Structure 1
Amino acid sequence: MLWADFLQCYSSSTLLAWSVWWALSTCGYFQVINYAQALWEKILPSNEFEIYNGYVETISTLLGLMFLPPGAFAAFVVSFVKVSWAVWGELALCIFSVVIAVCVCLMDTIRNIWVCYTAYIIFRATYMLLITIATYQIAANLSMKRYALVFGVNTFIALLLQTLLTVIVVDSAGLGLDIFLQFLIYASYFAAVAVIFFIAGLYKLFKRRRSGGQNELPTTESVPEA
């Protein structure tokens, strides 16, 4: 029964797209926040300069709490956004992923602590905003009995990918890269996510254009009860 529910849930193209973004981006998000302090230490050593890492973490967390589910502000705003996510969802995911990739790239290449701090705050706020939209869209495509299944699978895949990325990029058993190369890879990772959803979005629009728009895509694709 669990396997049948799994197949039925992920047969929804809208739910699948948001779930794939959830898993891929959450993996990259965890990597960035886990190693941001190490990057800042390289750029501005704490034993030589006064640092503001704690303030930046606090500000970015407070901004994130405005968007993190079940934040009242975010839930209220997202519920009234009149966007056909089934049509434009992939391209929206592409745009936001580009913003995230640019922020991580700036943190790695500019190597100015204030640019790093600003990019980090924008990075976290953008991710939290989009993860709220993703949560809303996934929940809208599910019956309540399946929330634990889908969100659990998505989170498990994200953590599995994060483990693999850590072993390959960070751990001495893998490449064991220095912190700047690590963040270059993380920026490239988010850029690859953006490319994936750009291609998916163009394909969906092309397919819809060929059909003449006769079958208007719905805002959500509800998965029926088993």
Structure 2
Amino acid sequence: LMFPVWVALPLLTSGGTTTMGTASRECGPHGRGWVGPTVLLCIYGFCSMMRPSEPFLTDYLTGPYKNLTTKQVWTGRGEMRALKRLAVDCKECYSSVAVLFFCVWSAMGNCGYHQITGYVQLLWASKQAQYNFTEYNGGVEAVATLSGAAASIAVGHVSLDWSVWGELVLGVFTAMTAGVLYLMDLTNSIWICYGLFKTIYMELITICTFQIAQGLSRERYALVFGINSFVGMALQSLLTAIVVNTKSLKLTITSQFLVYASYFAAMVVMFLIRGVYTLLQSRLMELIPAEGQSERRTDLPQVSPLA
């Protein structure tokens, strides 16, 4: 509201551009300029006191489902309680290490995917101008999207314990993604590499989404996926400011894709280590009960034979 008020202030107090300015001049030298500010203050007071949603909002916040009193709503304690509840929910959601790693891949993968898809057309133009060939980039986008959708559907029918193998699968396929991006930077024809990149990403993001949703209650889906998207966009903004900004590193488009490939390679190291650790831990937990059961069986007293 304050923005249009300050914009309208010069018009209401100017000398010859508005009707109110004319009326103020007609009031004499002692009353010049009072009409505009008076009308402005009246409009501002009316709009500031007009709160059509408050009757409905108060009843909603103090209803049986919210457990808040009217005093708490009007003194701001309801907002503080909501912030505390939000902090507790975030702590509970990200306390699981398995869910945390899938969230990390979701945010980092989202960042890298949007960087690649956003600037791949510039790489296409650079390769086409350098080697004078046609890449059919529109058709490649369509085929890559269809293949990614098929991969996302197919991965849902794979019978695999994703809680054990999921992080290792992320590491292996992310390594393939990094290799594909290196090939896009080095080779002349990049359409096969780009199609593979998009297919692998859609497959992996499906695995991450499924594993995150499996470890959360339904009412926390929006919170976690919203935070993951926000972190991904923040990483993308930081990566754009460092790599794409012409005033920072001044990299060519091919050098930028080399940086993106290194970005995915760093993800490979993290998730391969975590995947191997999870797999070894799972195998160790399977061996410990088996050893304990065999020891219990050997400790049984021997029964003497019948005479």
Write the letter of the residue equivalent to 1:66.
A
Structure 1 residue ranges without an equivalent (≥5): 69-73, 217-226
Contact 1:170/1:182 (8 A) holds in 2: yes
Q: Does 1:13 align with 2:90?
A: no
Q: Per-residue deviation at 1:209?
A: 5.0
The percent of aligned pairs where both chains have the same amino acid is: 45
Q: Per-residue deviation at 1:204?
A: 2.6
Q: Does 1:198 align with 2:272?
A: yes
SS of the residue aligned with 1:99? helix
Q: Does 1:151 align with 2:228?
A: no
Write the letter of the residue equivalent to 2:160.
V
State the Cα RMSD in Å: 2.1
Spell out, residue by residue over 1:18-48, the C-alpha distance to the aligned partner (whole angstroms, 9 max, x if none): 11111111111111111111111111129x6
Write the letter of the residue equivalent to 1:162.
Q
Q: Per-residue deviation at 1:130?
A: 1.1
Classify 1:18/1:204 alpha carbon distance in 2 versus 1 (closer, same or farther; 3 Å): same
2:216 to 123, 130, 142: 142
- Which residue in 1 is equivalent to 2:148? 64
- Which residue in 2 is equivalent to 1:220? none
1:90 to 167, 171, 181: 167
Contact 2:163/2:211 (8 A) holds in 1: no
Spell out, residue by residue over 1:157-201, the C-alpha distance to the aligned partner (whole angstroms, 9 max, x if none): 111001100100110232121011111111111111011011112
- Which residue in 2 is equivalent to 1:55? 139
- Which residue in 2 is equivalent to 1:168? 242
Q: Which has the higher contact order (CA 8 A, sep 6+)?
A: 1
Q: Per-residue deviation at 1:63?
A: 2.3
Classify 1:7/1:213 alpha carbon distance in 2 versus 1 (closer, same or farther; 3 Å): farther
Write the letter of the residue equivalent to 1:86.
S
Q: Per-residue deviation at 1:206?
A: 3.9
CA distance in 2, matches of 1:54, 1:166: 24
Q: Per-residue deviation at 1:78?
A: 4.1
Q: Does 1:4 align with 2:88?
A: yes
Q: Per-residue deviation at 1:64?
A: 2.7
Give the alignment's TM-score, normalised by structure 2: 0.62
1:108 to 165, 177, 185: 185
Give the alignment's TM-score, normalised by structure 1: 0.83
Q: Which region of structure 1 is more displaced relative to structure 2, 30-39 or 202-211?
A: 202-211
Write the letter of the residue equivalent to 1:55.
G
Alignment size in residue pairs:
205
Contact 1:78/1:136 (8 A) holds in 2: no
Contact 1:94/1:197 (8 A) holds in 2: yes
Bigger Cα Rg: 2
- Which residue in 1 is equivalent to 2:122? 38
Classify 1:58/1:8 alpha carbon distance in 2 versus 1 (closer, same or farther; 3 Å): same
Q: Per-residue deviation at 1:79?
A: 4.3
Q: Does 1:121 align with 2:192?
A: no
CA distance in 2, matches of 1:160, 1:202: 29
SS of the residue aligned with 2:219? helix
CA distance in 2, matches of 1:34, 1:26: 12
CA distance in 2, matches of 1:215, 1:134: 30
Classify 1:214/1:84 alpha carbon distance in 2 versus 1 (closer, same or farther; 3 Å): farther
